Chain A
Amino acid sequence: MLIFELSKPTRRNSSQSPREESKITDIPEEFLREDLASLPEVSELQVVRHYTRLSQNNFSIDTHFYPLGSCTMKYNPRACNKYAMLPEFLMRHPQSAVTTGQGFLQCLHELQEMLKDVTGMKGVSLTPLAGAQGEFAGVTMIRAYHESRDDQRRDEILVPDAAHGTNPATATMCGYKVREIPTDAEGDVDVEALRAAVGPQTAGLMLTNPSTLGIFEGHIQEIADIVHEAGGLLYYDGANLNAIVGKVKPGDMGFDVIHMNLHKTFSTPHGGGGPGAGPVGVNDRLLPFLPIPIVTEEGGEYRWLTELDLPQSIGRLSGSMGNAGVLLRAYIYARLLGKEGMNRVAEFATLNANYLMAQLRSRGLDIAYPTRRAAHEFIVTLKSLKEQTGVIAMDVAKRLLDKGYHAPTVYFPLLVPECFLIEPTETESKQELDGFTDALVEILEEAHRDPELVKSAPHTTPVTRLDEVKAARELDVAWNNE
């Protein structure tokens, strides 16, 4: 039932709109809407019941184990939400003077300093609105750097074939050609291929470490040297920062520029797909190009650095200053953890991943890179299951929903056939991991005994498997009362 189907003409919530309808006399008719917009006309209770019920059709961290690889679905502390939503923070207009927001700016400045420390970078701008926008800012800075040196021939960005799709998409948005670098049998970047690929056309290399294969790139220093010697810069995709926070600093690995996903490592809510926050950090040579505004402190007073302070900045990325509310939540989280707590994030994320990997291996599952330690995530391949039973990774993922677990990331990275990318995160207990192991093993048994049961899963969700081909062919993206 859609909210529109509950609608009855002329029903209204009088407590939610201005008391009297003001008459309009000074706007000529040619500018006005002729009819009412056909939004639903429903009571407050109908709204509450409808959206409460819809919420119950979701899996979420608060209700289910959610081992979605590369997404770091850890617990989002409620305190972060409560204290980011104090009325003074919520009611403040972004264009009001900085004198009305010193408390708010202090939080942001402290967050900025903490992020510098964690990443080992010289400067941080909090303004990018999401990881992908952080990537955009990072690669645009690389471009601005080369242009500032009048080095115009660099027109290519290198991306490992295991990279997130955002990396090549970002490079294109920044006006670069993309060249893919293959991965070797052990899951590392093929260093010889990289060596052959770099040259005077190389603007930079985008790298995730630990990689999307869930392993720490052992040749990182060699890779950094190869790229730097060719005159390129090294970009760190911070998607997997949770695996190393407090243990290794990207700045120490030789990266020139980095984005972080605060909705991953700093536990701000994923919100059903956003909002995120993708701050960028840079080393000395990229400092002048950071996106604005950036909060600064002078003699105990906080203010924004703008284009007047940073004329070489790549510019603005949003209508104001970034996703302020997300940044406040990240700040609160960082303060609750403190330096000790932050170290433990990587330790326990890694412990959980390696434990789960060991358990699954001992119960007969195939690990894609069995000789390697898991960073905070690892890959299982169900290729042999498919060969034996015809059941594919997607079927197993759907059957997991029936068992009360959100599915891991499926079919990514593209390099491993029939793969699950599993990231348990540090906030899950051993009991939860053991329950997940049992459920997965049970499904494999079902696949041998009764493959149809798994192929037709899920059976307990509000809907069964959806016809995606129909969704794309007979596009219905807005309801027409039919």
Chain B
Amino acid sequence: MPFIPHTESEIRDMLDVIGVDSIDDLFDEIPKDLRAQALSLVPEGINEMEIGRVMTERANKDGLYVNFIGGGAYEHHIPAVVWELTTRGEFYSAYTPYQAEASQGTLQLLYEFQTMMARLTGLEVSNASLYDGASALAEAVLAAVRAKKKATKVLIPSTIAPVYRQVVNTIVRNQGIELIDLSFSEVGGHTPVEIVSQQTTDDVAALVVPQPNYFGVLEDVDALTDWAHDHGLLVIGLVNPIAMALLKPPGRWGKQGADIAVGEGQPVGVPLSSGGPYFGFMCCKQKLIRQMPGRIVGRTVDTEGRPGFTLTLQAREQHIRRSKATSNICTNQGLMVTAATIYMALLGPDGLRRVALQCHANTKRLLNSLAKIEGVKKLFDRPFFHEGVLQLTQDPTAILKALEAQGIVGGIDLSRHYPQLGDSMLVCATETRTDTEINNYGIHLERIMSRRRLDPPCAQKVAGKG
């Protein structure tokens, strides 16, 4: 019996103490006609050696690829220490720190995380994390609407990830909130203040400002922030934590700084993992803390005057406020935050900045080298961080498929969500990509693009023979 320690004689003794004949008697309050038939879609159990074989086979089938995809989740070097420590049983198998005295490890770590995130974003306070970047943006929209009381609209640039817009819409639409899409400049790939300023600000609670945006392009954050504040809107910065080591943090945008900063925490210490678990972060100005959803850890003292840590401001939360809570959220992404905190401590300010710089340098090299290929053009003339958009003269779906056959996952096809950009794709090279890999990408892309244009494969074969 997997993971059940009872011996036959113990079972007997336990049933005697309870005063029943069999385990089945313990289910006698369940109406007979509700008792389930045997499970039919669950196979017989297997042992650890066998499941190891199954999983290894499936993993091998999936294989490893050289990755040039970003779009919200990024491959970065993760020091060995990070997950060695994170998977210690004391972190891995603990629960939400309700009993503070028995959870000081997790609580102190969360306080350190909050401090790191506040410093990285240049804002005063942080919560202990949310589910992921997309849902964190939705929670920021809800927080902004609560803070602005009567306003029910939020301005959302089209330069944030399409899936973020979808998620925000799913989460906020039944609360009577209207999301207004802002179009972008097809020259710069950014959201010019001139476009934003055409919007009405009546009944608008906030403006979302991504930095960098989905195209990797840097937005005019100072001008956008000042415009929003001049019109009585809150500013929600949507940022990448690695980029924050290099770029001006939201807390210093414009004259007053963004009011809320959120984003996807995955880049700092969390593996790509086919999509999760990741974590979202949220920081804000002190005056908005009571609108913040999720767990918050505070520093206090014990009865002997020693410093200690505890969950605080719980009066915002669902287990106290029930239907009047700021959100229904009851966990954070504790284990992911454990990894992120250890990652940021190991890298430090200089290390994180070096990672950011190397990401930028590699992406610049990648874009320059690919844009030299005939039929490939780099879109947008604005400064960028670690991603860029390439326009192709061919269907990106087929190109990406051909690259995959060479062991390269080459980018994200943008043609469905951004038809105005034609046949285009989003590419990324983080610090983990080598010069050789970047060169190889260029060689394969050139060959794939040109072969189709010039010679069908059979013609090449003949030429090769000659």
Contact = CB atoms under 8 A, between A and B. Distances in A.
Interface stretch (A12-20, A189-197, A445-453): A12-20
Interface string B94-115: 1111111111111011011011
B308 interface: yes
Contact of B295 (A75, A82, A87, A273): A273
Given A93-B69, A273-B331, A477 B111 contact: yes
A464 B302 contact: yes
A36 B85 contact: no
Contacts of A54: 104-106, 108-109
A87 B163 contact: no
A175 B175 contact: yes
A96 B67 contact: yes
Contact of A274 (B4, B57, B90, B334): B334
B133 interface: yes
Contacts of B6: 348, 351, 429-430
Nearest to B426: A95
A117 B65 contact: no
Interface stretch (B227-235, B321-329, B439-447): B321-329
Interface stretch (B147-155, B200-208, B243-251, B372-380): B243-251
A253 B34 contact: yes
Contacts of A172: 323-325, 328
B240 interface: no
A388 interface: no
B404 A338 contact: no
A478 B327 contact: no
A348 B4 contact: yes
Interface in A40-56: 40-42, 44, 47-48, 50-52, 54-56
Indicate the member of A33, A41, A334 with the most B CB atoms within 10 Å.
A33
A17 B350 contact: yes
Indicate the member of B28, B95, B278, B383 with the most A CB atoms within 10 Å.
B95
Contact of A173 (B119, B245, B279, B327): B327
B170 A140 contact: yes
Query: How large, as a class, is the contact surface on chain B?
Result: 35 or more
A275 B276 contact: yes
A103 B61 contact: yes
B29 interface: yes
A436 B183 CA distance: 63
Contacts of A337: 2-3, 45
A409 B319 CA distance: 12
A229 to B, nearest CB: 19
A401 to B, nearest CB: 5
B277 A354 contact: no
A201 interface: no
Interface in B337-368: 338, 341-342, 344-355, 357-358, 360-361, 364
A145 to B, nearest CB: 13
B331 A247 contact: no
A81 B87 contact: yes
Contacts of B297: 477
A317 B40 contact: no
Interface string B385-414: 000000000000000110010000100100
- Give the 5 A-B CB pairs with smallest separation, nearest first: A338-B45, A62-B89, A103-B58, A271-B335, A320-B275
6 contacts: A16-B346, A30-B222, A39-B344, A317-B167, A318-B275, A468-B312
